[in-house]
A = this chain, B = another copy of it.
Amino acid sequence: MQRMGMVIGIKPDKIEEYRHLHAAVWPQVLARIARSNIRNYTIFLREPENLLFGYWEYHGTNFDADMAALSADPETQRWWTFCSPCQTPLPSRAPSEHWAMMVPVFHTG
């Protein structure tokens, strides 16, 4: 299992909408996340820096393939048309990234 952290900005005037969306994520989106072997996925918000921090545990064996399958899902793509306008990707992210991946530097427990 691989613990992964990621970060993205959120537009301050979209925080309420983003929270509202994530209080009731569509069941097909959640199912697709699970099928891509992602478990224990939490998103945290920090204001006034307007940052979102995502944490999940990846239990699969081919992360790129699992992400590609997720990205190809029409319902997930439709979900993202609601979420993406709320977010501000970091300019420093990798070309293939929306959320910017972080590097784990410590684990215990």
- In the assembled complex, the CB of A45 is this many whole angstroms from the nearest CB of chain B, namely 5
- Interface residues in A, total, Cβ within 8 A: 40
Q: Given the known inter-chain contacts A45-B102, A104-B44, please indicate yes or no for A109 contacting B34, CB distance below 8 A.
A: yes
Given contacts A102-B46, A102-B53, contact A108 B25 (CB under 8 A): yes
Q: Say whether A80 faces chain B, with CB atoms less than 8 Å apart.
A: no
Q: Which residue of B lies closest to A18 (CB)?
A: B105
List which A55-91 residues lie within 8 A (CB) of chain B.
55-57, 90
CA distance A90 to B53 in the complex (A): 15
A107 to B39, CA, bound (A): 10
Number of copies: 2
Residue from A23, A38, A53, A108 with most neighbouring chain B CB atoms (10 Å): A108
Q: Which 10 A-B pairs rank lowest in CB-CB distance, beginning with the nearest?
A: A5-B44, A44-B102, A22-B106, A43-B106, A39-B109, A55-B55, A46-B102, A42-B107, A53-B53, A45-B103
Give the B-binding residues of A (Cβ under 8 A): 3, 5, 7, 18-19, 22-23, 25, 30, 33-34, 38-49, 51-53, 55-57, 90, 92, 100, 102-109
